[in-house]
Amino acid sequence: MTYDTQPNASHFVDGAYLEDAAGDPIDVVYPATGAVIARIHAATPAVIAKAVESGLRAQAEWAALSGRERGRVLTRAARIMRDRNRDLSVLETRDTGKPLSETLYVDATSAADALEYFGGLAGSLTGEHVQLGQDWVYTIREPLGLCVGIGAWNYPTQISCWKGAPALACGNAMIFKPSEETPLCALKVAEILVEAGAPAGLYNVVQGAGAVGAALVGHPDVAKVSLTGSVPTGRKVYAAAADGMKHVTMELGGKSPLLIFDDADPDDAVGGAILGNFYSSGQVCSNGTRVFVQRGIKEAFLARLAERLAQAKIGDPLDESVNFGPMVSARQREIVLGYIEKGKAEGARLVCGGSVIDGDGFYIQPTVFADVTDDMVIAREEIFGPVMAVLDFDDEAEAIARANNTPFGLSAGVFTRDLARGHRVIGQLRAGSCFINSYNDAPVEAPFGGVKMSGVGRENSKAAIHHYSQLKSVYVRMGRVEAPF
C-alpha cells in the first residue's frame, strides 16, 4: 500500500474521516518541488464541537478499562506502525521534505517506540499505600480527562505519538492538531489507533492554524494542553491555559550550546556538531547551534567540518542516498536566509554555504559561520535552519558562563575525553536534555524537555506519566471519629 497524499478528508474525528469544506482551505506543499500535493480545510466550530463531544465520550469508556487492556491497544498500534514504516516514512517525507534516509529510521519508528513504551507502562500505573498508625491513606493515579496536543512541523508523526501515547496510556483522550504546514501523518496515526482497537473519538485529529489551536486551548472541557512550538506561541498558549487552570506541557525552542574541548576526539566532535546542526536541515529544536570550540583546535575543527559537509548529498528527498533535504516551506527558507544575511552583516566569517540552491524546492546550503561573538543575532536567536555558529573559548569556566548566557535552556552538549570534566561541565549547564560525547539522541526512555524559556514539563520516559495524570488521595479512618463538639 502507498498512501495518497490527498487524505480522504481533512479531519479524523469519532473514528472516521470528517470534512467540513466551510473551513479555511490549507494547501499542502511538497518542499522539494513547491508542488501542491493536497488541499484540506481548517476545522470549523462544528468540527471542534464534534471532536470534543466524541473525545469526552471515548475518554469515559477508555478510562474504565484496565491499564493492561489500554496498553494492549497501544502496543498493537506500534506493531501496525512498524509494519507500515516505509509508507508512513514516504508520507512524512512528502509532508516535511525530510530525506527518506532519515524518515525511514526516525519518524514513524520513534512514534512506534512511544506507543510501545507507554503501552508497556500502562498496566503498572499504580498509587501508593501510606500507613498512619491504624489509619491509612491510599492514592489513585487518575487521568486528567480530555487533552489537547498541538504540534510543530519538524517531526509531525513523532510529536503526535510523543503526546498521544502517554496521554492514552494514562486513560485520557486526545485531540491532536498538527501544524498547518504538515497535516498529513497524524491522520494516519489516528486511523491506526482505531484499527488497533481504540474506541472511536479517543484520538481525534483536527486541522488548522493558530486560531483552531487557540479554540481548542480555550475550550472549557479541555483539561490539559501539550504544545510543541516556538517560544512566542508557547507564551500565548500557556497564558490561555492558565486562564482555565489547565495542565500544560510546553516543548519550545532553543539556542543550545555544544562545548568542544581540545582533548575531544576530533572526528566525533565534528560528527556531533553535524548531527546537532544539519540533521533534518537544521529543523530540530534541540540543535546545538552555538558551537563553542576551544581556541587551539578551532582551525583544525573548521577544516574537518568543511571537508565533511562537502560530502553531504543534497537533492530529491525520496532518493534514499540523499541525506540533506529542503526547508519545510518558502517562508522558513526566507527566515533562515534573513539570519544568514545578518551573520554576514555583523562580520561573522562565512566558512561554507550561505546561499539558496536554485530550483523549485526550498533548499539552502548547509552553512557555517566562524568567529561568531556572543552579541551577534545569529548567536542569540533560534534560526531553525542549517546554520551553525562557531564561537571560540579559552577555558572551562568562561565557556560555561557564556553557554548559560541565554534565555533558552533546551539542550547542551560537551565533547571531551576527560569524563570527569564532561560530567562537571554538564552539571553546570542550565538545560533539560544534555549529551556527553554525543548529540541529539532522543530515546523514548529518556526524559525530553527544557528549562527557562524552552519549556515546562517533560515528554517521554516515566516522567511523562506525571504530566498526564493526577493523584487522588483517600484518607481511611479505622477508629471512631472524635469531634470537638
Ligand X SMILES: O=CCc1c[nH]cn1
Residues that bind ligand NAD (CB under 6 A): 150-154, 177, 179-180, 209-210, 213-214, 217, 228-230, 233, 236-237, 251-254, 285, 382, 384, 410, 450, 455
Which of ligand X, ligand NAD, none does 253 bind, CB closer than 5 to 8 A by kind?
A: ligand NAD
- Contact letters (x/-) for ligand X, 19-48, by CB under 6 A? ------------------------------
The span from the CA of 238 to the CA of 256, in Å, is: 22
The span from the CA of 201 to the CA of 324, in Å, is: 38
Among 104, 284, 348, 456, binds ligand X (CB under 6 A): 284
Of 155 and 393, CB closest to ligand X: 155
Closest distance to ligand NAD from the beta carbon of 71 (Å): 25
Distance of alpha carbon 469 from the chain centroid: 20
Cell match 554576514: residue? 344
Three-state SS letters, 338-355: HHHHHHHHCCCEEEECCC
Of 158 and 172, CB closest to ligand X: 158
Of 45 and 296, CB closest to ligand NAD: 45
The span from the CA of 172 to the CA of 143, in Å, is: 5
DSSP 27-51: EEE-TTT--EEEEEEPPPHHHHHHH
Other beta carbons within 10 angstroms of residue 331's beta carbon come to: 11
Closest residue to ligand NAD, Cβ-based?
213
Which of ligand NAD, ligand X, none does 113 bind, CB closer than 5 to 8 A by kind?
A: none
Which of ligand X, ligand NAD, none does 233 bind, CB closer than 5 to 8 A by kind?
A: ligand NAD
The span from the CA of 346 to the CA of 342, in Å, is: 6
Q: Segment near ligand X (CB under 6 A), from 24-32, 152-160, 196-204, 330-338?
A: 152-160
- The residue type of 303 is A
Contact residues for 280 (Cβ-Cβ < 8 A; gap 6+):
96, 98, 102, 154, 155, 325
- Contact letters (x/-) for ligand X, 422-441, by CB under 6 A? ------------------x-
Q: Does residue 89 bind ligand X (CB under 6 A)?
A: no
Q: Does residue 155 bind ligand X (CB under 6 A)?
A: yes
Of 229 and 326, CB closest to ligand X: 229
Which of ligand NAD, ligand X, none does 442 bind, CB closer than 5 to 8 A by kind?
A: ligand X
Of 363 and 435, CB closest to ligand X: 435
C-alpha cell at 115: 506507543
What part of residues 439-458 is at the interface with ligand X (CB under 6 A)?
440, 442
C-alpha cell at 206: 483536527
Question: Does residue 251 carry a catalytic annotation?
Answer: yes
Q: Segment near ligand X (CB under 6 A), from 82-90, 256-264, 278-286, 361-369?
A: 278-286
C-alpha cell at 466: 506525571
The span from the CA of 337 to the CA of 342, in Å, is: 9
Closest distance to ligand NAD from the beta carbon of 229 (Å): 3
Q: Which entry of 102, 116, 180, 251 is annotated as an active-site residue?
A: 251
- Identify whether the C-beta of residue 165 lies closer than 8 Å to the C-beta of residue 189: no
What part of residues 348-387 is at the interface with ligand X (CB under 6 A)?
none
Which of ligand NAD, ligand X, none does 294 bind, CB closer than 5 to 8 A by kind?
A: none
| Of residues 356, 304, 308, the one with CA closest to residue 335 | 356
Q: What share of the chain is helix, strand, coil (3-state, %, to 5)?
A: 40, 20, 40
Count residues near ligand X (CB under 6 A): 8
Q: Does residue 226 bind ligand X (CB under 6 A)?
A: no
- Identify whether the C-beta of residue 279 lies closer than 8 Å to the C-beta of residue 98: no
Q: Which residues pair with 475 in a beta bridge?
A: 137
State the catalytic residues. Answer: 251
Which residues of the shown chain bind ligand X in the complex (CB under 6 A)?
154-155, 158, 284-286, 440, 442
